[in-house]
A and B are shown apart, each in its own frame.
Chain A
Amino acid sequence: MFDVVIVGAGVVGSGIARELSKYELKTCVLEKGTDVAVGTSKANSGIVHAGHDTKPNSLKSILNVKGNAMFDRLSKELDFPFKRNGSLVICFEESDIEKLEALKEKGDKNGVPGLEILSKEKLKELEPNINEKAVAALYAPTGGIVCPYEMTIAYAENANANGVEFILNCEVKNIIKAQNGFIVETSKGRYESKIVINAAGLFADNLNNMVSKNKIDLVARKGEYCLFDKLAGEATTRTIFQLPTDLGKGVLVTPTVDGNLLIGPNAVDIEDKSNLSTTQEGLDEILNKAKNTLKEVPMRQIITSFSGIRAHSPKDDFIIGEIEDVEGFINAAGIESPGLSSAPAIAEMVETIVVEKLNPAKNIKFNPIRYGIPKFREMDNEERKNIIKSNPSYGKIVCRCETVTEGEIIDAIRRPLGAKDLDGLKRRTRAGMGRCQSGFCSTKLVNILAKELNIPITEVTKFGGESNLLIGKNKEI
C-alpha cells in the first residue's frame, strides 16, 4: 500500500514527487513511457514566463508568478540549466502600443516585477537583430529560459534519491475507488494507494474520468518548432514574443538555455494525442511569422524541427486540487502554457494538499541537492584535466558537435533512472543534439548502450517500444 501514487513522470508529476519526498510518505510514480520527461515536458518552448499573459487571479497567473520566482533556487539545488534572460513582447503598429500598456497593467496586477515599455530605439539597442517593423516592446526582466527535460530529469532523480519509486513502462488502465483509497490497475499489475495524483498530462482527462462524475475533456494542441544551430544562437539575447493581434497569436523567437535559436510554436488542435509529426504547412507558418521578429531568419542554420503537444483545457485554466466527488484523488491537469513556469508552484500546491490530508512526518534524511552529469563542454581546461585524471573516459569525445564525452554517456546510463535509449541519452547529455543530428555519433552511442545495458545491439531503440535502430546482422535479414 502506497501513501501516494502519482501518475505521470513529466515535469508536474516529477516535481510533485520531489516535494513529497520531503516527508515520510511511501510514494511512487507510474509512467507509461520508457523514461521520464517523454510527453509534453520534452518538447515545448522551454520558457519561464514572467506572468503578464495570464488572467489576473487565475490559477495560471498565481502559480506562474510564484513558480517563476522559484527557478533560481531550484536550478541551483537540482543542477539544471536555467537563465533569466528577460523577455520582450513586441508590436508592429503604433496603435498597438496601448495594448502593450494594457498587458503591462495586467502584469502589474499579477505581481510581475519590473515591467517596462521600451521605445523602438531602446528595443533596437537591446536586440540589434530585431525587425525594423517592430515599433515598441514590453520588457519583462524576470522572463527566463530553462531546459525542460533536464529540469524534469533533475526533479525525478532527486525524488528517487529521496525514496520515491519510479515505475516506467507502466500504463494505468483503470482506477477503482476502494475503502481506504484506490486500486490502480496498470499494465504492470495493481497498485494500492491512499492518494492518487493525476499528473498524466495529455491523458489526465481519461484518468479523471475513470473515477469522477465531473468529466473533463482535454484538447491536444500541437505546436511545431524549428531549432537552429548554435551558430545562430545569438540572433537574440531575450525571448521575443509577438503581441497577439486579430490575425493570430504570433510565434516566439528565443535563444535556448543550451545556446541554440528556437522558433515556434503554432497551435493546431489534433485528434490523435500521440501524433507528434510535423507538417510542411506548420513549419512554413512559424518560419514566416518569425520573419516579422527578426531582420533575417537564418534559414541555412536549421538543424531540426519537432513538435510538442500541450493539454489544453477548454476552461482555460489549470485544473488543480482534490476532486469534489472522490476523496483522495488530486488533479494536476490541463497544464498547458505557462505550465513549465508554474510547475514548481504546482508541486508545492499539491504538496500542501497532501500534507493536510495525511499529515506526514518530515523526512529527516531529505537532501535537496542533486548533482547533474558533469558537462565537459562547460568546464575550463583545469577542470577537464582533473576529471580525465580520475575518469579517463572523460577524455574520449563521442559527440563531436556538442562535445560530449564517453564518461558523460556512461554516467547517463548508469545513474538511477538512467537512459535506456538514444533519445534518453540525448536529453541527458545532448549527444546527437547538435548540428550533425547524430550522424556521426549514433553508431557509437548504439554500441555503448548495448554494452552498458548488456543487450544485443539490435535491441537498442531510439525511444523504446518498436523504435529499434537495427534489424539484424548483414545477410541475415
Chain B
Amino acid sequence: MKEYDIVIIGGGPAGMAAAIGAREEGIEEILILERDSCLGGILNQCIHNGFGLHTFKEELTGPEYAERFIQKAEEMKIPYKLNTMVIDINKNKEIVAVNEEEGILEIKAKAIILAMGCRERPRGAINIPGSRCAGIYSAGSAQKFVNIDGYMPGKEVVILGSGDIGLIMARRMTLEGAEVKAVVELMPYSGGLKRNIVQCLDDFGIPLKLAHTITSIKGKGRVEGVTIAKVDENRKPIKGTEEYIECDTLLLSVGLLPENELSNKANVKLSQITGGPEVNESLQTNIEGIFACGNVLHVHDLVDYVTLESINAGKNAARYVKGESFNEKGIELKGLEGVRYTVPKYINPKNIDKAVEVRFRVGDVYKESYISVYFDETRELHLKKRILTPGEMETVKLTREMFDKYPECKEITVKVEGE
C-alpha cells in the first residue's frame, strides 16, 4: 500500500486549489486523483467567460481559469494521476482507485480532501411524466456534446429549470443556430445568477416562464414537443393553463447534487439540506483528517469561491498532517428564518486566525431585508441586503474579535430579518 500525506479526490477547481494550498504549507507527499483525462473538471466544458472576476479581476473562460491552476500545479510539481477513478475510501483513510496502467491502486493517506464536485439531478428525480424518447439531456451533457465533441443535440429547444447551466446553454445553443423556445422554471424566481438571466436570456429574447413546469413529453423516437403549465403556490400544475410547445430537444437544469457516494463509504456525515458533508471551520468533516471543499461540500455559483474555500481546505489538511487537531467540537451554527444552511456547521474559535467566512443560501426571494447573525441571544451583525435570492450564495465574515467578545457563546444563528 502506497502512502501519501494528502490525497485529493478530484482534480477540478476545488482539488487543484486544495493541492496548491497544501503545497504552500510545505507538504511534499500530495497526490491528486482525477477520473477524467485532464485536470480542470467541469470547467473544461464551460467555454463561456465570466470566471475569475474575484480571483484575477479578469473575465476568463472556464478552460482559461482551469489552465492557470493547472500551470501552477505543474510549477509546484504536484503529482496527479489522470483517468483514475477512486472506487472506495474508508474512515481509516485507505483509498482504492483504478486505472488502465496500474490496475488497482491501494493508497493510505494521512489526510484526504474530498473534491469530487457535484452532478445534475436527472429527469427521474422530478418525475416528469411522458415519453422516454431520445432528445432529453441534462444541460451539462448537452454542454459537453456541444463544447467538447462539437455536435448539436437538437435545434428546437425547451429548457426546464433556470439554473446557471440551463441559462448558459440557452445562449450557447442559440449561438450555434438552435432556437430556444422557452426556459421553464417551476419556482416564481430563477435559480440562476441575475447576470446570467440578463446575458443569456434577455439579450437573446428567450422567454423565461416562471412558475411553470412541464407536464408531459411527447415523442416516439425523438422528442416532438412538451406540454407546459402554470403551477400554483404548491407547485402543482393548474388545469386549463396547459400550452404545447413543439421542440426536438428538452434540456434539464433542475439542480445540482453534491456527489458524496464515496464520502458515505467513509462514514462521513452529510447534511440533509446541502447533500454535502457537515464541516467545521477548518473544513474537516466528522471524520478526523477527512476534509471537503468545492461543490462536493455545497453547490457554489462562482468558481472563485470554490478556489478560496479549497485553498483553505488544503492548508488545513496540511496543518493536520503536521500535527494540529481540529477535532474539538466548536460552536454550532444554525440557519433559521430563510437561511437554509450554513457552511461551516461548527466553529471552534481557537482555530480562527483573523476571520472565518460563513456561506449560505436563502430559501426564497427577499427584498430590502437584513442578514443577521446572533451569538446566542445577541445580534452581532445586521447587514442590509437589497435583494436575496436562492440562486446567489451569500457570505458573512465572522471575525476573531466577535468570538473574543462572546467567549461563552454556545450557538450562532444566521437569519433573514426585516428591520
CB atoms of A457 and B125 under 8 A apart: no
Of all chain B residues, which has the CB nearest A440? B119
- A475/B145 in contact, CB under 8 A: no
Q: Is A169 on the interface with B (CB-CB < 8 A)? A: no
A277 beta carbon closer than 8 Å to chain B = yes
A396 touches B83 (CB 8 A): yes
Chain A residues, Cβ within 8 Å of B122: 303-304, 435-437, 439
> Is B98 close to A, CB under 8 A?
yes
B223 to chain A, nearest CB (A): 10
| A463-474 interface bits toward B, Cβ cutoff 8 Å, 1 = contact, 0 = none | 101111111111
- How far, in angstroms, from A476 to B146 measured CA to CA in the complex? 12
Contact A280 B152 (CB under 8 A): no
Q: B198-234: contact bitstring with A at CB < 8 Å (1 yes, 0 no)?
A: 0000000000000000011110111000000000000
Interface of A (DSSP majority class): mixed
Tell me if B365 counts as interface (CB < 8 A to partner A).
Answer: no
Q: Contact between B129 and A471 (Cβ–Cβ < 8 Å)? A: no
Q: Is the CB of B125 within 8 A of A302?
A: yes
Tell me if A283 and B129 are in contact (CB < 8 A): yes
- Chain B residues lying within 8 Å of A458, measured Cβ to Cβ, are 151
Docked-complex contact B132 and A385, CB < 8 angstroms: no
Contact between A470 and B152, CB atoms less than 8 A apart: yes
Task: Name the distance in Å between A262's Cβ and chain B's nearest Cβ.
Answer: 12
B221 near A303 with CB under 8 A, answer no
Among the listed stretches B20-28, B133-141, B302-310, B332-340, which one makes contact with chain A, having 4 or more residues with CB under 8 Å of it? B133-141
Please encode chain A, from 159 to 199, with 1 for each CB lying within 8 Å of some chain B CB and 0 for all others: 00000000000000000000000000000000000000000
**Contact assessment for B176 and A442 in the assembled complex, using a CB-CB cutoff below 8 Å:** no
Distance of A393 Cα from B83 Cα, bound (Å): 11
**Cβ–Cβ contact A385 & B151, under 8 A:** no
Interchain CB contact under 8 A, B129 and A395: no
- Total number of A residues with any Cβ neighbor in B under 8 Å: 58
> Is B134 within 8 A of A443, CB to CB?
no
How many angstroms from the CA of A210 to the CA of B221 in the assembled complex?
28
- Residues of B in contact with A, size category: 35 or more
Residues of B within 8 A of A442 (CB): 137, 141
Interface membership of B96, Cβ < 8 A? yes
User: By the criterion CB–CB under 8 Å, are A457 and B151 in contact?
Assistant: yes
Which residues on A sit within 8 Å (CB–CB) of B125?
Answer: 300, 302-303
CB distance B104 to A439 under 8 Å?
A: no
Task: Report if A236 contacts B (CB, 8 A).
Answer: no
Known: A388-B98, A400-B85. A473 touches B150 (CB 8 A): yes
CB-based contact B119/A304 at 8 Å:
no
CB proximity of A35 to chain B, nearest CB, Å: 15
Instruction: Indicate which residue in A226, A385, A438, A446 contacts B127 across the interface (CB closer than 8 Å).
Output: A226
Residue B407 interfacial (CB < 8 Å): no
Whether A448 sits at the interface, judged by CB under 8 Å, is no
Partner of B103, one of A278, A283, A385, A461: A385
Interfacial chain A residues near B153, Cβ < 8 Å = 469-471
Beta-carbon contact of A447 and B149 below 8 Å:
yes
A467 & B134 in contact (Cβ 8 Å cutoff): yes
A278 near B177 (CB under 8 angstroms)?
no
A304 touches B123 (CB 8 A): yes
In the complex, 14 of the A-B residue pairs with CB atoms within 8 angstroms, ordered by the A residue number, are A276-B132, A277-B129, A381-B96, A392-B100, A396-B99, A400-B85, A403-B87, A436-B138, A437-B122, A440-B119, A440-B140, A474-B146, A474-B177, A477-B155
* Top 4 A-B residue pairs of the complex, sorted by shortest distance between their CB atoms: A466-B221, A304-B124, A437-B122, A462-B134
